[in-house]
Amino acid sequence: MADSDVDTSGVNIEQIKIVMNALYLCLDHATKYIAEHNGTASAQDFKDNLLASLRHGDIDMAIMEDTKTFDFVVSRIEELKVPGN
């Protein structure tokens, strides 16, 4: 997880779902923005690099400890559509 001083102890499951969906939408927006401003190949490279970094633990090794969580996160990233592909 990113370094943060934010206390999340009082966060309920519905809030976590909202945050997860918002973050997914942010990744979707970033992918579309990259495709629009830098081309489809750059957007695909972004997605591929993101997946590789997840799979190799470069982003967050903690998600690799639980197969179900890891598979869920990777599957959501794999579902990102790259415009033009």
Q: Where are the beta strands (DSSP E) in the chain?
A: none
Task: Give me the mean pLDDT over the 9-36 stretch.
Answer: 92
Angle at 37 between CA 28 and CA 74, to 5 degrees: 25
Q: How far apart are CA 69 and CA 74, in angstroms?
A: 9
pLDDT tens-digit profile of 52-77?
999 998 887 787 788 888 898 899 99
At 21, is the pLDDT very low, low, confident or very high (cuts 50, 70, 90)? very high
pTM: 0.81
Domains in the chain: boundaries? 13-78
